[in-house]
Every structure is written in C-alpha cells, then in structure tokens.
C-alpha cells in the first residue's frame, strides 16, 4: 500500500517537472527502473497507481494531473455528509475510533443523521472518559472500528465529506478504509477549520468548534460527543457556504480551494529542485548575485530539496533564504558520511548567513581552573572544546563554591547540587530552585558531551563507504582526535597503496587536548559510528581488513546514472 502511495507522489512530481502529461512508457521506466516498457505493459503497471489517486488521470496513453474534484458539482446540488469522531487518542497508528457521528446536508438543509458507538478494543484513558463521558462498559460489545467505518461509508455514499479539522478525522477513517479496501477515500473533503480561517479572517481570532458555534449561535452545542459535534459543524458549514458564495464560490471545487491552506509563496520555486538525484550529497542555495545563502546535506537530495517547498514554514533564516533563492546547486556524493564531511568544509569556508550552526571553531571554549572556580577560556584544556558558550557558563556557575575534588572531577558535585535543589524547593524558594535546576542541567549535558568527545578522541578506525565514481571506494581514516585522511581506493593493486598512505597519516600520537578545528568533523563521525547507515563499514587500522571490507562493499546508494555537480536556475 505504502509503495503505491509513494509511486503516486513520484508520478505527480514527474508530471509537474515535465509541466504536462507524461507518456506511460517513460513514467513506467522512471517509477519501476525499467530499461524498456511497451505501452501495454506500462499501462498495466500504472493502472492501479493512477486509478487509486484522484490527482492523476489518463490522457490517452499519457498520465496527467486530473481536474480538481468537485469542479462540475454546484454547491446547491451537492450532497454533504458532516462527520465527527471520538477517539481513544490523537494518533491514528496507535489510537482507535470509539464513536462516529454524522449529519447529511441536502439542499442546504440538515437531513438524516448517523450515530454509532464503537468498541476500540482497548480501555479508555481516564482523561478521554472525563472529556467525552464515554465508559468502557457501554463500548464493550459494540461494532469493531472496521465494521463501524464500513457502515458509515454506506451512509455517506458519494456525498462530499465535511469535518472540523478534517485531517484528524479523515486520518482515522482512511486507516480503517485501507484495511478494508487497500485504498484511501478519493472524493473531495471540506475542512471547516480552513474555511473559517479564510472567510472569517479579522472577525474572529479562533477557529475552534466551540468558538465558531458561539460566533454563529448554532442550535447544537459541541460537547465532545460525535453527533452533537457533527450537528454543530453542519450548522457552521451552512453559514460558511453562504459567505463563500458571496466571494464567488459556485462549485464544490471552489469551496475545497477556499478551505485549503494558503500556498506558500516559495512554492512557485519548487521547479528549482527538479532534476536533483535521489542520492546523498550537499546542496547550496544561491541568490541572484550567486552568493551562497545556505548549505545543507541530505541522504536523498531529491526528497530533501522538494521538502523545502512542500512542508510548513521553515525557521526564519531559512525562510528568508528561500525568498531570495534564485539557484540551487547540488553536489552528489557516494555516501551520507562523505556528504557530512563536505558540508562541514563548506560551512567553514563560506559561512552562509542562513545556517544556524555555522562551524566557528574560533568561538568554541574550554573549561579551566582559575583560583577556586572554573571559567570559560580559549586556552585548550582536557575539558573541551565546547560549542555552546552559554551552556558552558551555566555549568561553571553550578560549580561556584565547589570543593577542590569537585573542581578536579565535576561529576562529584552533582549529588550535592541535587540535594541543594530539593532543599530550595522544600523552602519554596522557587526562583532560586529554577536557576539552580538550569545550571545542573547544563552541567549534566556538558559532562555527557565531554565523555563522548573523550571517547572519540581515542578512536582509531577506518570508515569505508562507496565513492561517487562507480567501482571506487572512499576510506576515511580517524585517529589522534581528528579525521587524519580521506583516500579514494581504486580497483586493483592501487588500492593497497592508497590504504598505506592513509595509515601513514594516522601514526601521530593522540594529543593531550582536542583541537577546536577538529571537533565538528569528529562529532559527525561519532554520529555515524553510533547509528551506522547500511552502506557504512567500520574497520580497524589494518590494511588487509580495510581492503577486505572495501572489496565486499555494496555500490553507491543511487542506482540512477551519476551526473556531475550541477545546478538549476530560475
């Protein structure tokens, strides 16, 4: 099921990239990695993907985007079914339906009603029982969720579904529908939350069901039970349809369009990401002066770049970079490990304005003794380097008044500090307790971080990953608290020469203090050592073992033909 949904998403992206219908043969080749696909075979492979997705439609022997649902259905002729669910929780994957209520709207008047209790198969939480008034005893023996959803779908028929915060209710219904039919609901859906926000902008600040019911003075009052909430939503819908008609809405498609979230302005720039490969790599956002605004890395460049234009707003600095964006440059890599190292190099060299965590080793600090306390310093010591100066200062304040032994081993101060925190709380000195709590948390985080850095400082290993060039392997040598060397291993006897050259770079001893400029790369390596991706192999610093793992390494992640670094301009 999920594979079919992913294929539909990729097909929609391909049609948008081509700016028009795509012939079935090409679509089948791209989606199913076929070298050749006759028209008959291509249509049979795509039939289920196209037929189950309302965004797609056949245009002869090509696949294109379908007309919006409800485009030919006038509002006065449209049957609506307003639905509301009560559930055991908020997540469709782990929670279940416990009540369904629905109201049919025909000719702008409320008609038949549907109400059904559902046995979720799990006990209701006390908070849910208190909120809804439902109890396990009255739900026990009621229809199973899949049976209840089947009965609701029979009641709804071909009507346009309406819900308040439709994404929540439809997620539960879709989950049960997938179990029943293997597909999701395909008809148009109207969300009264989005519709109210668009039509009532400036007139009411809240779009909750209770707030809108009070605003419109509905006869039914929401009470966290399915049928009364559906009745209130139906009355609100009729009021909103009247406002929508004043704005020129004539069809269900117009209503759905008004209810849809407003498209971000940067969505129009999504074509800049067309053509990006589905492989690891780094990417650079450039403005009209070719200045680099932002640098990032991704395991899947295509998916990551397109997410900037399809998802919710980014943090302010990245959002500003997207508004100024004129060109995206991507550089495919053989692995995510190599992409991480390249990203750090670019951050140090370019210092893009939109990157929150620019690599600035000159700002990193160490903790060192000054009299009877610890202070932040640029002088290298065993306690560092630390990237967060603010957190380091809080940790130092936590150790004010510490004993000589605690200053030498700061972890020994934690029991005393926690006892002090409990004493302040018992004395109701809450502001002092809050300040001490923040300092203790900072000290704990710094100590955990320093233990991890110390472990990496003594690490001696070789990371073996695929290279971008087919048949080649990248060997990353880690020793002496740094990335000592990165070598490309070719086929044949040349691989041993490269390995020996890399091993020669690891012969330096481990320094007493970790250099600040080596920290970021070392932490990135540590992340991959803790959670290694499938293509990564870790070898000891022994030539034969490195060569053995390199020979058995799978090819690079992306099976598509490799392209040289390229960019897409507006």
If you average pLDDT over every residue of the chain, what do you get? 87
CA-based angle 11:67:46, to the nearest 5? 30
Per-residue pLDDT at 399 exceeds 60 = yes
Radius of gyration from C-alpha coordinates of the chain: 30
**Is residue 487's pLDDT more than 50?**
yes
**Is the pLDDT confidence value at 568 over 70?**
no
pLDDT of amino acid 557: 55
pLDDT, mean of residues 440-461? 91
The residue among 69, 88, 84 whose CA lies nearest residue 114 is 84
In the predicted structure, residue 312 carries a pLDDT above the cut 70: no
Residue 4's pLDDT is 53
pLDDT at 311: 58
- Distance from C-alpha of 326 to C-alpha of 17, rounded to nearest angstrom: 17
Query: Mapping DSSP to helix (H, G, I), strand (E, B) and coil, where does residue 151 land?
Result: helix
Looking at domain 75-259, does it have CATH number 3.40.640.10?
Answer: no
Say what the pLDDT of residue 269 is: 86
Percent of the chain residues topping a pLDDT of 70:
94
| 24 Cβ contact list (under 8 Å, min separation 6) | 37, 39, 42, 43, 46, 61, 62, 63
Q: With 70 as the cut, is the pLDDT of residue 556 above it?
A: no
Convert the pLDDT of each residue in 500-555 to its tens digit. Answer: 999 999 987 777 778 788 888 889 999 999 989 888 999 999 999 999 999 888 77
The Cβ of residue 505 has, within 10 Å, a number of other Cβ atoms equal to 16
Q: Which residues of 199-228 are buried (b: 16+ CB within 10 A; e: fewer)?
A: bbeeeeeebebeebbebbebebebebbbbb
Active site residues: 224
CA 174, CA 127: separation in Å to the nearest integer? 25
| H-state helical runs in 19-125 | 24-32, 39-51
The residue-averaged pLDDT of 304-309 equals 88
Question: Which tens digits make up the pLDDT trace of 187-227?
Answer: 788 999 999 999 998 888 889 999 999 999 999 999 999 99
Tell me: pLDDT of 412 over 70.
yes
Alpha-carbon distances of 350 from 344, 345, 359, 468, rounded to whole Å: 10, 9, 10, 23
Sheet containing strand 537-539, strands side by side: 482-489, 473-479, 461-466, 537-539
pLDDT tens, residue by residue, 59-79? 888 888 877 777 788 999 999
Q: Is 85 helix (H, G, I), strand (E, B) or coil?
A: strand
Read off the pLDDT of residues 74-124 as tens digits, 9 standing for 90 and up.
Answer: 999 999 999 999 999 988 878 999 999 999 999 999 999 999 999 999 999
**Which of the residue ranges 118-122, 131-135, 400-404, 553-557 would you say has the lowest mean pLDDT?**
553-557
| 569 pLDDT more than 70 | no
Sign, Cα dihedral of 12, 15, 20, 21? negative
Q: Is 20 left (phi over 0), alpha (psi -120 to 50) or beta?
A: left
pLDDT at 353 over 60: yes
| C-alpha 476, offset from chain centre | 29
Range of lowest pLDDT (294-298, 310-314, 354-358, 545-549): 310-314
Q: Which pLDDT score, from 0 to 100, does residue 340 have?
A: 93
Instruction: Reply yes or no on whether the pLDDT at 441 is more than 80.
Output: yes
Measured distance CA(253)–CA(272) in Å, rounded: 29
For residue 244, what pLDDT band results from cuts at 50, 70 and 90?
very high
Provide the pLDDT for residue 307. 86
| pLDDT for the residue 570 | 47
Q: How far apart are CA 255 and CA 259, in angstroms?
A: 6
CATH number for the domain formed by residue range(s) 267-350? 3.40.1440.10
Q: What per-residue confidence (pLDDT) applies to 552?
A: 86
Q: How much is the pTM?
A: 0.65
The structural domains of the chain, with segments of one domain joined by +, span: 2-65, 75-259, 267-350, 362-457, 461-551
Cβ neighbors of 397 (< 8 A, separation 6 or more) are: 439
Can you give the pLDDT at residue 5? 53
At residue 566, the pLDDT reads 47
> Would you call the peptide bond into 385 cis, given omega within 30 degrees of 0 as the criterion?
yes
């Amino acid at each position: 099921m999920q594979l079919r949904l992913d294929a539909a998403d990729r097909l929609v992206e391909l049609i948008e990239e081509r700016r028009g219908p795509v012939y079935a043969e090409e679509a089948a080749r791209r989606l199913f990695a076929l070298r050749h696909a006759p028209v008959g075979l291509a249509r049979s492979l795509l039939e289920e993907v196209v037929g189950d997705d309302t965004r797609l439609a056949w245009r002869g022997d090509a696949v294109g985007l379908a007309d919006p649902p409800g485009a030919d259905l006038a509002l006065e002729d449209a049957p609506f079914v307003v639905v509301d669910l009560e559930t055991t929780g908020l997540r469709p994957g782990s929670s279940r339906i416990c009540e369904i209520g629905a109201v049919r709207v025909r000719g702008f008047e409320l008609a038949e009603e549907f109400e059904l209790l559902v046995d979720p198969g799990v006990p209701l939480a006390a908070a849910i029982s208190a909120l809804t008034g439902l109890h396990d005893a009255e739900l026990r023996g009621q229809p199973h969720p899949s049976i209840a959803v089947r009965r609701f779908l029979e009641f709804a028929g071909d009507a346009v579904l309406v819900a308040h915060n439709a994404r929540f209710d439809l997620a539960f219904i879709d989950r049960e529908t997938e179990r029943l039919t293997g597909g999701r609901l395909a008809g148009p859906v109207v969300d009264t939350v989005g519709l109210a926000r668009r039509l009532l902008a400036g007139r009411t600040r809240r779009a909750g069901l209770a707030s809108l019911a009070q605003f419109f003075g509905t006869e039914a009052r929401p009470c966290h039970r399915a049928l009364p909430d559906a009745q209130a939503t139906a009355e609100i819908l009729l009021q909103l349809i009247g406002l929508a008609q004043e704005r020129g809405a004539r069809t269900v498609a117009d209503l759905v369009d008004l209810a849809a979230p407003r498209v971000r302005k940067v969505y129009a720039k999504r074509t800049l990401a067309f053509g990006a490969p589905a492989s690891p790599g780094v990417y650079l956002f450039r403005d009209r002066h070719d200045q680099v605004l932002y640098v990032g890395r991704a395991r899947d460049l295509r998916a990551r770049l397109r997410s900037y234009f399809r998802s919710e707003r980014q943090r302010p600095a990245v959002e500003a970079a997207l508004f100024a964006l004129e060109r995206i440059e991507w550089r495919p890599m053989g692995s995510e490990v190599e992409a991480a190292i390249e990203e750090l190099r670019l951050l140090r060299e370019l210092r893009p304005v939109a990157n929150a965590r620019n690599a600035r080793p000159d700002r990193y600090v160490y903790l060192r003794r000054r009299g009877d306390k610890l202070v932040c310093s640029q002088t290298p010591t065993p306690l560092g380097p630390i990237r967060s100066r603010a957190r380091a200062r809080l940790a130092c304040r936590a150790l004010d008044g510490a004993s000589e032994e605690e200053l030498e081993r700061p972890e020994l101060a934690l029991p005393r500090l926690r006892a002090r925190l409990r004493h302040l709380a018992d004395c109701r000195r809450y502001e002092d307790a809050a300040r001490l709590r923040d300092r203790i948390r900072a000290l704990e985080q710094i100590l955990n971080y320093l233990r991890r850095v110390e472990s990496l400082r003594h690490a001696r290993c070789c990371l073996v990953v695929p290279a971008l060039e087919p048949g080649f392997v990248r060997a990353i040598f880690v020793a002496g608290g740094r990335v000592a060397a990165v070598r490309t291993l070719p086929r044949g006897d040349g691989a041993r020469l490269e390995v020996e050259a890399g091993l020669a770079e690891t012969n330096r001893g481990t320094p007493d203090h970790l250099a600040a400029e080596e920290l970021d790369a070392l932490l990135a390596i540590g992340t991959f050592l803790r959670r290694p991706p499938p293509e990564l192999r870790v070898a000891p610093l022994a030539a034969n073992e490195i060569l053995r793992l390199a020979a058995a390494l799978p090819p690079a992640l992306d099976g598509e033909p490799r392209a040289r670094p390229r960019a897409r301009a507006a």
